[in-house]
Amino acid sequence: MVMIITVSGIVYTHAQSWEEQYPWAVESVTYCKNHGILTGDNYGNLNLGDNLTRAQMSKMLVEAFNLSNTGTAPSDVNGHWAEGYAKIIYQIMPKKAQSFRPDEYVTREEFAATLVRASGLSTGYVRNSGILSENFIDASSVDADYKTLLCIAVERAYLKGDNGYIRPKDLLTRAEVAAFVSRVCQNNSGEKTLTWEDLGVKESYTPLTGDAQITVEQAQAWARAKGAHERFINIAPTYWYYGEVFGLRPEILYAQAAKETGYGKYGGAVLPEMNNWAGIKIKSPIGDRTEDHETFATPEDGVRAHFNHMSAYVGLAPVGEPHDRYYVVKSIDWAGSIKNLEALGGRWCPDLYYGYSILHDCLEQMAKY
């Protein structure tokens, strides 16, 4: 872009720098330049407004994630400047074709799906298979071959939606791609911490504190309809009792317990006899083994521990002597600042969509009974 400035009859021209044209992308583009992920053409132009081609995608992802597993690729990359990159990326492409078409533009869904694969994730890493339909009007237009990987991209904030649309068939500019790639790389390296606010999904704000908005009878009816274990159905009144004691909404913690224990059936590392309704870890866990989780004396003690643990997040006083992990949470800089269910994502557990999944999968369903 050229600006024409007239001063005292003399005409000056000023070509805007890319920093001036793309102020929102300065940090991400600089990161990608410094790490060799984004390079210019023969004249040094970054061409940030140009749409991304498949050849350019290949180079950027290979450089970003240090990929090197070279294999075969369709013959239309032979002799192309990106031949070496294409032979690497073709091995992880979610949807292979008879031709690579290196100079063809890449859609958002193809790029996001390939980005997920390049970062080391596969379809087995999906946590919330309903995240697209729950949040985006155009979710049904996502290609079936990309759908699960796109779910992963959204739930980990690799790709953001736009006003309720995921726009899977839209093209991407090089500036936009730099933003996506840098976010993933910086998050993976610990340079940037992504939170639930980075997701770009349909926003909601569900307060953790306050009076119950669902009765214990409704909650138990919902639990029965879900095929919950009797232990989960029977513990519900204890949740409503402690809800009043703490000033925390019991239906939210009960819904969370459903997610953490599989409606009281457990089946994971935490065993039923541990009375741990919330998957609470010990003070210094070294993994996700059974022994890395707390054990409480009775089911009621486990519920009180659940409320105590949440009180450290919200900023409320505990009841009785808290478990060791409570003090670990209290030492974190954001302790006491978590006021809504959605904000548990990335904090209670690494899943950024964690709070939203409790809302959509459990709490909203409970409210219908």
Mean pLDDT by 10 residues, the chain (369 residues): 54 67 85 90 83 96 92 92 95 91 96 95 91 94 96 92 92 93 91 87 94 97 97 98 98 98 95 97 94 97 98 97 96 96 93 93 94
**Confidence (pTM):** 0.82
Domain holding 360: CATH number? 1.10.530.10
Please give the structure tokens belonging to residue 94: 């979610």
> What pLDDT does 257 receive?
98
Which two structure tokens, joined as six digits, stand for 201? 């999904």
Cα-to-chain-centroid distance, residue 28: 19
Contact present, 228 and 258 (Cβ < 8 Å) = yes
Residues 337, 246 share a domain:
yes
pLDDT value of residue 195: 86
Using DSSP, state whether 6 is helix, strand or coil: strand
| End position of a domain, from candidates 198, 229, 258 | 198
Report the distance separating Cα 133 and Cα 138, nearest Å: 8
Alpha-carbon distance of 9 to 122, in angstroms, equals 63
In-domain check, residue 362 = yes
β-sheet bridge partners, residue 165: 162
Could you tell me if 44 and 191 lie in one domain? yes
Neighbours of 36 (CB within 10 A): 11
The boundaries of the domain holding residue 327 are: 216-366
Question: Do 223 and 280 sit in the same domain of this protein?
Answer: yes
Q: What is the pLDDT of residue 22?
A: 77
- Residue 72: what residue type? T
User: Is there a domain that residue 210 lies in?
Assistant: no
Do residues 251 and 363 touch, judged by C-beta distance below 8 A? yes
Examine the domain organization and report whether 231 and 314 are in the same domain: yes
Residue 208 within any structural domain of the chain: no
End-of-domain residue from the set 198, 231, 247 = 198
Burial (CB count <10 Å: 0-12, 13-18, 19+), residue 47: middle
Asked whether residue 186 falls in the same domain as residue 266, the answer is no
Residues 180 and 239 in one domain: no
238 shares a domain with 173: no
188 in the same domain as 314: no
Whole-number Å distance between alpha carbons of 212 and 96: 51
